[in-house]
Chain A
Amino acid sequence: MESRHGRKKEQAESPEVLKAREEKEAVLVREYLALKDTLKALVESNKRDNDALKVTTALLRKSPDYYTIWNVRRTILKEGFLDNADDETANKIYTGELEFVQENLKLNPKSYWMWNHRRWCLESMSQPRWDRELAMVGRFLEMDARNFHGWDYRRYIIRQLDLKDNDAKDKVLDRAQSEFEFTTTKIHQNFSNYSAWHNRSTLLGKLAEDMSTKERENIVDNEFDLVKNAIYTDPEDQSAWLYELWLIGREERSISILGANVISFHPLEIVVAFDEPVKMRNPFTVSTRVEHVAIPLEGEWKATGSNSELGSVWIFQQAPGAVYGPTVEIIIFSDDVCAVRAGSKLLTAVCYELETLNQNLEDISGRLGRLMIGKNLMYDVTKRIGPISGPDDTLETQVAHRKHLVTSLTESDSLDDRVALLDREISAVRDLIELEPDCKWPIQILSTLLSELRKTVSIHSTKAKDIDDECIELQEKLITIDPLRQDRYEDRRAQLVFDRETLSIIQDSKRFPEIEYTANQPRNLDLSMRGLTYIPVSSYLLHLHTLNLDSNSITSTRFLRNLLNVRRVNLSNNLIERLEGLQHAPSLEFLTLENNMIAKWEDVVAGFVFWREGKLGRTGGHIKVLLGNNPVVVNEGGEYVLEKRWEDVGEVGIEIQWQSEEARLAEEALLASEGEGGAGTIVVEGTRRVSATAVEFDAGTSQ
């Protein structure tokens, strides 16, 4: 396939030239087909001799990617020559093959099959000359310094040599050192050689394994110098910047469990909220005491959302018939979850003790954080409820003895070293930005460095706030200088803005750098006109009763699935094209979606396709959705509308009803006078019966 790249289209030619060319082409085709026929006859008559070999040579010269011929050639060589050959003869044959391949590789340096044939020869030889291979591939990389076949092959040779020296670690390290120097040469020839930077990163990791702390620090300093040379030469070249990003590394982010609580008693349902999506590896341990005896409580954990195996909000539902006592305990070991974001990890085991005696669910908001028991009580809990199944070491390997990352190759006992490194690099990048104010790479890297620095301070510190403000400004700058990737910067900006605006909801945990819910959760949150493109962490919004997101650029309603308590959401004037996630927002009563982009009834229905394995929280209920000024309504000449009832009995379906603007206003007024809880009287102008896949329309049917 590679040979099909980069062929310039030729200009049209005169009929005479065209005819001459056609004739010439016809000869070539005849010759080629004749060769194929000859080979076919030879193979069918089981000929494994020089004649057959010669035909494969001729064919492969013309068609080097005709892989079957390479296979035929190897079979001929094996059965006709090699099987009965002594070492010396065999060696000669393989050497001949290597020469044949080499000559052809010059013409087709990207043919997989040829590189493959070469490997076969070397792996079959009794004494392969890997040193010669290394020199050969070195010459190839002179011709094309980015040929990935060449680099892959080079690494392959090194692996083969290392295998031979399995017991001689010195040799292996010397070889890595020499390869490391090869990348230095290549990088100095051309700073844009990303292939060389890449290989350098893998070699450095290997070399560092056996280095002392001091040696590592020195080599890292050298690397930062090399990067600086490159980026001052061409600050737009991404190779060195990507390498710099790797060098700086990312402090492992600690996943936080924000809180846990009971959301239903019959059946028992418990919610656990994380500050980022996680995948469950082992079900969290749930126990209860019945007459002073601790017993495991049977049940099932699921994440809210379309994928029940992944999410930031997890719900436990007791198995039918399971019995629970006055308290229920949940223990989450660090190995029970794995992060969806690379570099995140749950660092400590966490235990929650939840009361189930007072079964009043009227107001669970604000209590999610308070019932948490710190890790210090872990031991008490294990004593009380007996041994808990789970990985043995998780209770001990808590915050103590934690090493802090300084760069991706160095670490320290003190966080100060990381801060010092980041400060140094931040100041260097700032200098460059001063010289090149409109270059996007230094700005992107500065933003990343600042985000790393923020991980070292308390979330409520002035420093954190200053960093957030600066990072938001940096994204705005990036949006103007790199419009191709505007949406990426807007998503990042949305995340930063969201973090800033939701600070009151979370606080530092005793297990810093983890965070948890604050004791007093706000009921209402106004995030209107903040330029948000999405809701990054919807578990922050779990307690809210009302959420105002009017006039943002939000494109999806999927975050609603985590808003277990939310009654009213305003999403007017956004960019929503499809309704999703409603089925997991059991308290939702009123959703304003005016002035969005929903164009099809199917995209309204999508919001009501039920979670197959059962619904969460409250069953049944009323939900009202305002769809005014969406194409779906406008297209049908409707003014305003709404949507009313959904049931989960029998056939899954909902009924959408619509009403006039006038009726809507009247109802609004009524609602206002009755308060939040009022259902109002609905004057219906039309109804729709909607199943999961189809919409039936009965215009004008009044009830």
Chain B
Amino acid sequence: MLKIQDISVYVSDGNKELLHGINLEINDGTTHVIMGPNGTGKSSLVKALMHHPAYKMSGGSVLYNGDDITNLSPSDIAKKGIYYISQSPVSVEGITNMEMLRTSLLDMGIKEDIFTFKKECNKICEKLNLPKSFLNRYINEGMSGGERKKNELFGMWLLKPSLVILDEIDSGLDVDALKLVGKNLREYQEETGASLLLITHQEKLIKMFKDVSVHVILGKNIKENGDILLAEDIIQNGFLKYDVTNEVDSDLEYE
């Protein structure tokens, strides 16, 4: 279980506060969705949780399965079983997916011979409709937005995290790719019992999961909590009626 207690988030090179007093609990096997207008700090929150160098947390604590991970490095957080997929996964020229994933497994203490590794990779390629040559490509190099997202899901299947954080996984995906990604996430959750934390406003994606908890960030904090009905209302009518801080432009019209 992930337990975020009274966390504030700042940018690293200054004292600008982006989020204040965030509290959130994610139980094992559950799906949570974070929504909020642009620039309210949704991505900053998950990056800060992963200890991205551009952000820092202060105030409370972050516990994962009872362990305090507030001050852990990104690699130690990953070793605890948390897997983060960025909105725009970075490309790394010169390092192949194979090299990265083999090193990840090794550093996480998972020893797999090359034959088992390749066999497992071939199965994952089929799940994601990816050519086997993907393994030998440089990390996300020269890939389209959709290919990058699939590549990130490849890592998820292989490293088997217990919590997957997905920041706008739907961006850059066509309708078929979105279905495939949603199906993979649902299958992964059913197979492993993992929890999912999604930042998204994509109704089709949200509706692929059962019993979704929805949290809305407004004015530096989580202002609304609810279920699929809250998500539907926001997708239909926007954030205006939930906005007590007048962050949302009142001239916006939602159709």
State whether these chains interact.
no
